[in-house]
Amino acid sequence: IQEKLKKSDTLNIVGELAAGIAHEIRNPMTALKGFIQLLESDLEDEYGMYFNVITTELSRIESIITEFLILAKPQAIQYKKANITKILQETIELLNAQATMHNVLLKLKAEVDLPEIYAEGNQLKQVFINIIKNAIEAMPKGGHIYVKVNQKDQKYISISIIDEGIGMSDEKLNRLGEPFYTTKDRGTGLGLMVSFKIIKEHNGIVNVESEVGKGTAFHILLPQHLS
């Protein structure tokens, strides 16, 4: 996984370029979405199916753009004291509906009185969203996702996200974080690349364990102090 973190270095320039283009695409996209929604009410039933395809594909373009935008160096990135437990709680609240739809139960186990860490809260939230979403998508039969946070030592806070999903072979595990690597019909293959980049920028460490048919565990170490 350290290797994976290095890979994301070379992507910085690509990322900045992509972000420029992504910004340009966003505005016409907003117009498109708005007008298509207006059209929906006038549509004849037989066109309903086309309408669904159009809106699904538009959302797909949107999520690709969102992920690309995170790749670019944020203009004024603000590392502030952040309550990691609160960030995880908010993430879980955000994903609870989606989890329930997939018969997945999200469980948070947080050590009490954890020290605050220096972090960009929104970026960290994006990381946890990406990883937990993947976990939900890896559990077609449902199950539990355990999110654990505790103090590892004087330096690091440890966050683990453990699923009971389909797991990954070593080949797949090795490709995590590669741009556009996806095994999903409607995947972007960008979520983990973006996540690894954010963790790296926080001077953090990621470790992934997985067993086919058993599940996957993402272990993230974040330093309490940057520097």
Q: Which residues of the chain form contacts with Mg ion (CB under 5 A)? A: 134, 191
CB 107 within 8 A of CB 148: no
Question: Residue 163: which of Mg ion, ligand ADP, none does it interact with, CB under 5 to 8 A by kind?
Answer: ligand ADP
Give the residue with the Cβ less far from ligand ADP, 95 or 117.
95
Task: Decide: is 162 part of the binding site for ligand ADP (CB under 6 A).
Answer: no
Tell me if 166 contacts ligand ADP by CB under 6 A.
yes
Shortest CB 67 distance to ligand ADP, Å: 8
For residue 189, the minimal CB distance to ligand ADP (Å) is 5
Q: Which of 187, 201, 205, 219 binds ligand ADP (CB under 6 A)?
A: 187
Which tokens in the block code for residue 50? 């086309």
State the amino acid at position 24 in one-letter form: E
Q: Which positions from 167 to 186 touch ligand ADP by CB under 6 A, shown as an x/- string?
A: xx---x---x----xxxx--
Per the structure block, which two tokens stand in for 183? 């095994």
102-131: which residues touch ligand ADP (CB under 6 A)? 130
Select 39 or 94, whichever has its Cβ closest to ligand ADP. Answer: 94
Minimum distance between the CB of residue 139 and ligand ADP, rounded to whole angstroms? Answer: 8
Query: What ranges make up the beta strands (E) of the chain?
Result: 80-82, 104-110, 117-119, 143-151, 156-163, 205-211, 215-223
Among 70, 156, 163, 221, binds ligand ADP (CB under 6 A): 163
For residue 140, count other CB atoms closer than 10 A to its CB.
11
For residues 11 and 71, the answer to whether their CB atoms sit within 8 Å is yes
Going by the DSSP 8-state scheme, the letter that residue 97 receives in this structure is H
Beta carbon nearer to ligand ADP, 165 or 224: 165
Closer to ligand ADP by CB, 117 or 137: give it. Answer: 137
Residues near 58 by beta carbon (within 8 Å), at least 6 away in sequence: 29, 32, 33, 36
- Taking the alpha carbons at both ends of the chain, their separation in whole angstroms is 21
